[in-house]
Amino acid sequence: MATAGKVIKCRAAVAWEPNVPLMMEEIEVAPPQEGEIRIKVVATGVCHTDLYHPFEVKDKRGFPTVLGHEGAGVVESVGPGVNDFKPGDKVIPLFLSQCGECKFCKSPNTNLCDCSWSSKYHDIMSDPTTRFTCRGQPILQFMGTSTFSEYTVINQIAVAKIADDAPLDRVCLLSCGISTGYGAAVNTAGVTPGSVCAVFGLGAVGLAAVMGCKNAGASRIFAVDINEKKFEKAKVFGATDFLNPKAYDKPISEVLAELTNGGVDFSLECVGNTEVMRTALESCVKGWGVSVLVGWTDVKDFSAKPIQLISGKTWKGSLFGGFKSKDSVPNLVCNYMNGKIKLDKMSLEQVNDAINLMKTGDCIRCILNISK
């Protein structure tokens, strides 16, 4: 392309500091270096983690930054040493890399990667190395991706090539939310046919978890949320029962125990709330119940009474649904296109509106159209 090897000036939503609205800015995006790919972002979802960093953690070391990590786009140019991608390829940026060489990538027991930004810079949620500048200063690339920009530069180990006919304004959700919830059910929890499940939180991640439980053959799926407006959508994805914790004068774990003769076989916490994490564990049946932490948070500690685990319950965590990113995302795109996975727009300038909708719970997921 004509822009290959040149600095690109484009629009991006910049978070200059914590707890303030994002600002639409013109930024400079440098050409890709060794092993890197520059991508024209077409669409991006707005995930709760994009709110978590500026509005909950508020660590000033992670700013200024361009947020966004749930995107899809087209390769604009590639740097030296990149052989598996070419300009024009449709791709999905990955916040969880897969280098294929570290001990974690070589292990079938995890989807972690030692070359990921999170291995060294978990606290600021960005690698200090960046290809972005604005107003003469470096701008961090959030979670190694920064999809709230018309162009971004990403290491090839954190990019997945997908089918040429994939609709980018839908499959962008597979770069985080949908994969995370769906995989937490089918991979991490290992939901079994005929089992009883409970999903706490019905955002995009929670609905994907409901879908995962359904596709794994669960016979009964409790959808738990304080926003009853989400119950109808959860039903579409496979939920069979619906509970609002605020509607009861007892803990919802006790309600579930009464409705299921002792508790559910599998529970998935998809909120990122430590109190809900404990509730989800307590909602499991003793002996074999499995509870999975899916919602992202690192602000507070969580706790539980030891008897919960001594009695035979298992407490697990799930990152990106247990999927090895580069290997799995292209297959997930195919699953969407053949109807196995359901993915139910706005412009980049409306990014703050999308963030407010996420804060209030008035939407499942906002998708921003980045490039016209």
For 170-222, the pLDDT digits (tens) are: 999 999 989 999 999 999 999 999 999 999 999 889 999 999 999 999 999 99
pLDDT for residue 361 = 61
pLDDT for residue 183 = 98
pLDDT for residue 175 = 94
Tens of pLDDT along 137-157? 999 999 999 999 999 999 999
The span from the CA of 213 to the CA of 196, in Å, is 9
Least confident of 92-101, 113-122, 130-139: 113-122
Give me the domains of the chain, ranges plus CATH numbers.
8-175+342-369 (3.90.180.10), 181-318 (3.40.50.720)
Three-state secondary structure string covering the chain: CCCCCCCEEEEEEEECCCCCCCEEEEEEECCCCCCEEEEEEEEEEECHHHHHHHHHHCCHHHCCEECCCEEEEEEEEECCCCCCCCCCCEEEECCCCCCCCCCCCCCCCCCCCCCCCHHHHCCCCEEEEEEEEECCEEEEEECCCCCCECEEEEEHHHEEECCCCCCHHHHHHHHCHHHHHHHHHHHHHCCCCCCEEEEECCCHHHHHHHHHHHHCCCCEEEEECCCHHHHHHHHHHCCCEEECHHHCCCCHHHHHHHHHCCCECEEEECCCCHHHHHHHHHCECCCCCEEEECCCCCCCCCCCCCHHHHCCCEEEECCHHHCCHHHHHHHHHHHHHCCCCCCCCEEHHHHHHHHHHHHHCCCCCEEEECCC
pLDDT for residue 355 = 66
Least confident of 34-43, 183-192, 331-340: 331-340
Tens of pLDDT along 68-110? 999 999 999 999 999 999 999 999 999 999 999 999 999 999 9
pLDDT for residue 359 = 60
Question: Which of 283, 306, 280 lies closest to 295 in space, CA to CA?
Answer: 280
- Per-residue confidence at 25, pLDDT binned at 50, 70, 90? very high
Averaged confidence pLDDT in the chain: 92
pLDDT for residue 360 = 62
Tens of pLDDT along 223-265? 999 999 999 999 999 999 999 999 999 999 999 999 999 999 9
pLDDT for residue 346 = 40
Tens of pLDDT along 299-317? 789 999 999 999 999 999 9
pLDDT at 348 over 70: no
CB atoms inside a 10 Å sphere around CB 15: 26
pLDDT, average across residues 337-356: 68
Cα–Cα distances (Å) from 116 to 68, 92, 105, 297, 303, in that order, read 16, 16, 11, 18, 28
- Per-residue confidence at 55, pLDDT binned at 50, 70, 90? confident
pLDDT, average across residues 357-366: 63
